[in-house]
């Protein structure tokens, strides 16, 4: 794993306390998160226009550098950048010179030499986005699109946006994050965001083997019994079982995992009467969630994806755009 030489939440703010990179939710203020969500509200409307474009980032170049597979994050970043009128470069790592042994730093220096203004980075190693942010030119911004099991801050922001859109004030709501907490960068970012935004209660639910030790220090209560953990919950946030990251036998079997932690309609009925269900994707249907729940009326899984575009537009605009936003359509 790439060592983090600076505390990430110090690295992402400049000396005036303004956002310079977007690397982690940790250490950001409630005011900033609320401002990003409010701006995303206005960008949602842009996505409903016949011409889905505003000229805010015209002339800027955004480079998507994904060292790990992605469906939702990469495509919604690309759409977000295009809707802001930026030029977008998608570096395909499998066909790039990285496969010939070029280092991460050399690859990025070459992209910088092409005058990229922003790097959107996904990497399998925790700390990769910070490593890059420490080394880029002063006017280049870096967004963490998921690093190892550390953070996925834009996913957490689109989750917060979707919760606010459908359920209102965080102070009134109880949350349960369910499944493979141990390997989940999404869970870590969600927990930070929910705490900053004032959630009434945050629970994590999973087998002991998939709950990090001392997880309570993040301000959550841990449950190993799903039926107990779901009681009175307003928002059920499911996680993917990350079998590819597991070393050794952390679950007894897929069938047993589903029996104990799979989200079925019967289990949803144990939560609050109007509880909603979220999942960042990709989903393992039949392993952590049934199709009847994933596709049911309580599911916010596809709205999460749609909202991801507006939320990523908001974060990009904050990092690269002028302070006053021009939401006029292109002529
Ligand atoms: N939620 C998420 O990060 O999905 P992708 O891996 O498809 O980007």
**Does the pLDDT value for residue 9 go beyond 70?**
no
* Alpha carbon of 159 to ligand 1 centroid (Å): 13
Q: Which atom of ligand 1 is nearest to the CA of 145?
A: 3
Q: Is the CB of 282 under 6 A from ligand 1?
A: yes
pLDDT for position 17: 87
Q: Is any ligand 1 atom within 6 A of the Cβ of residue 146?
A: yes
The CA 75 to ligand 1 mean position distance, Å, reads 9
Mapping DSSP to helix (H, G, I), strand (E, B) and coil, where does residue 202 land?
Answer: strand
Ligand 1 pocket mutation, candidates 70, 124, 311, criterion most atoms within 8 A of CB: 70
Nearest atom in ligand 1 to 69's CA = 6
Q: What percent of the chain has pLDDT over 70?
A: 93
Alpha carbons 288 and 309: distance in angstroms, whole number: 26
Q: Which atom of ligand 1 is nearest to the CA of 280?
A: 1
The string of pLDDT tens digits covering residues 251-263 is 778 899 999 999 9
User: Do residues 230 and 270 lie in contact, with contact meaning Cβ atoms separated by under 8 Å?
Assistant: yes
Predicted confidence (pLDDT) per residue in 138-182, tens digit: 999 999 999 999 999 999 999 999 999 999 999 999 999 999 999
Confidence of residue 265 (pLDDT cuts 50, 70, 90): very high
Nearest atom within ligand 1 for CA of residue 68: 6
Condensed to tens digits (0 to 9), the pLDDT of residues 193-245 reads 999 999 999 999 999 999 999 999 999 999 999 999 999 999 999 999 987 77
CB-CB neighbours of 147 under 10 Å:
30
What pLDDT band is residue 331 in, cutting at 50, 70 and 90? very low
The continuous run of DSSP H or E covering 146 comes out as strand 141-147
The mean pLDDT of 20-39, rounded to a whole number, is 97
- Residues 290-309 pLDDT 10s: 999 999 999 999 999 999 99
Q: In what order do the strands lie in the sheet with 87-92?
A: 87-92, 61-66, 118-123, 141-147
Best substitution site from 64, 69, 71, 237 to test ligand 1's pocket, by max atoms within 8 Å of Cβ?
71
73 alpha carbon – ligand 1 mean position (Å): 5
Instruction: Report the sign of the C-alpha dihedral through residues 262, 198, 150, 143, in that order.
Output: positive
- Do residues 3 and 130 lie in contact, with contact meaning Cβ atoms separated by under 8 Å? no
Whole-prediction pTM value? Answer: 0.93
- The residue whose CB lies within 8 Å of the most ligand 1 atoms, and thus the one to mutate among 122, 147, 183, 282, is 282
- Of 326, 324, 283, the C-alpha closest to 301 is 283
- Ligand 1 atom at minimum distance from 74 CA: 8
């Amino acid at each position: 794993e790439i060592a983090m030489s600076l505390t990430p939440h110090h690295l992402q703010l400049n000396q005036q306390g303004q956002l310079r990179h977007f690397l982690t939710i940790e250490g950001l203020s409630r005011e900033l998160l609320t401002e990003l969500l409010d701006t995303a509200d206005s960008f949602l409307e842009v996505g409903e226009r016949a011409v889905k474009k505003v000229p805010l980032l015209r002339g800027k170049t955004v480079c998507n550098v994904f060292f790990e597979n992605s469906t939702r994050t990469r495509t919604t970043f690309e759409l977000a950048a295009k809707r802001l009128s930026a030029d977008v470069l998608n570096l395909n790592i499998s066909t790039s010179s990285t496969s010939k042994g070029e280092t991460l730093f050399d690859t990025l220096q070459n992209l910088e030499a092409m005058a990229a203004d922003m790097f959107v980075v996904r990497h399998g190693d925790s700390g990769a986005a910070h490593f890059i942010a420490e080394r880029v030119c002063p006017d280049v911004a870096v967004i963490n699109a998921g690093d190892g099991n550390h953070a996925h801050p834009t996913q957490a922001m689109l989750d917060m946006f979707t919760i606010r859109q459908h359920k209102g004030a965080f102070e009134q709501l109880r949350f349960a994050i369910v499944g493979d907490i141990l390997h989940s960068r999404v869970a870590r970012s969600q927990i930070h965001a929910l705490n900053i935004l004032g959630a009434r209660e945050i629970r994590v639910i999973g087998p002991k083997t998939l709950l990090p030790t001392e997880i309570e220090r993040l301000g959550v209560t841990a449950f190993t019994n799903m039926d107990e953990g779901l009681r009175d919950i307003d928002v059920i946030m499911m996680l993917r079982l990350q079998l590819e990251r597991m070393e050794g036998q952390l679950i007894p079997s897929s069938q047993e995992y589903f029996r104990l932690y799979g989200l079925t309609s019967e289990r949803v009925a144990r939560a609050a009467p109007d509880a909603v269900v979220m999942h960042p994707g990709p989903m393992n249907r039949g392993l952590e969630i049934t199709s009847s729940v994933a596709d049911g009326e309580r599911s916010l899984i596809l709205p999460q994806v749609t909202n991801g575009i507006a939320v990523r537009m908001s974060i990009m605009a904050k990092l690269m755009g002028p302070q006053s936003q021009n939401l006029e359509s292109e002529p």
